[in-house]
């Protein structure tokens, strides 16, 4: 069974890599998975709709935490879902819209944005940025934060290195490229 799952994940990643490598979409419209919106309470899969951000639940706040992984310590939401940065973003302005945003949903701020209780996150690096759709995206060290629709469970890092433009992010606010 693990071999079959690995093959499926590898196939999905190859398709996404092909979509993300399309030069016609260099402005951030980097592919689509056609993923449907998961339920907020049961599925750890990142939402296709920004209004269902799994980091916030109903608490009126959005937390960012640091968690150890095989890639090193990286940022996650309060449920352990991995967060990514997009190297084609300019400053704190997101350039991932349309099909790109379906594949790479933004971490949307719900109420106060703060560091989670586990330590490791520098609260002074947390911020927000307005998106074209009117929502407010969480930023860290000036970089908008995203989920990857191909991550199926907390701790998954299936989006790491896709197109050589999507990376997990360290508590220092840097893309982890290794």
Q: What is the pLDDT of residue 47?
A: 43
- Given this model, what pLDDT does residue 9 score? 43
Identify the bridge partners of residue 62 per DSSP, sorted by sequence position. 113
What pLDDT is recorded for position 159? 98
Q: Could you give the strand order of the β-sheet that contains 136-140, starting from the edge strand earlier in sequence?
A: 126-130, 136-140, 143-144
3 state SS of 51: helix
Calculate what percentage of the chain has a pLDDT beyond 90. 62
Helix (H) or strand (E) holding 110: none
pLDDT in tens, 117-169: 888 999 999 999 999 999 999 999 999 999 999 999 999 999 999 999 999 99
Can you give the pLDDT at residue 149? Answer: 98
Q: What is the pLDDT of residue 53?
A: 47
Name the DSSP class of 152.
-
| pTM beyond 0.75, yes or no | no
Query: Which residues of the chain are modeled with pLDDT < 50?
Result: 1-53, 56-57
pLDDT computed for residue 59 by the predictor: 62
- Number of C-alpha atoms within 13 angstroms, CB side, residue 116? 17
């Amino acid at each position: 069974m693990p071999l079959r799952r690995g093959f499926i994940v590898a196939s999905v990643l190859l398709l996404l890599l092909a979509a993300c490598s399309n030069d016609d979409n260099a402005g951030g419209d980097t592919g689509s998975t056609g993923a449907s919106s998961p339920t907020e309470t049961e599925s750890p899969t990142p939402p296709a709709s920004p209004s269902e951000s799994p980091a916030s639940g109903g608490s009126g706040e959005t937390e960012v935490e640091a968690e150890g992984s095989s890639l090193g310590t990286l940022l996650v939401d309060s449920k352990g879902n991995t967060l990514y940065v997009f190297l084609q973003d300019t400053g704190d302005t997101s350039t991932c819209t349309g099909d790109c945003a379906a594949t790479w949903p933004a971490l949307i701020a719900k109420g106060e944005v703060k560091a989670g209780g586990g330590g490791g996150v520098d609260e002074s690096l947390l911020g927000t940025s307005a998106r074209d759709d009117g929502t407010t995206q969480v930023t860290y060290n000036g970089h908008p934060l995203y989920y990857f629709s191909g991550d199926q469970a907390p701790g998954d890092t299936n989006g790491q290195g896709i197109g050589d433009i999507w990376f997990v992010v360290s508590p220092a606010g840097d893309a982890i490229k290794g």
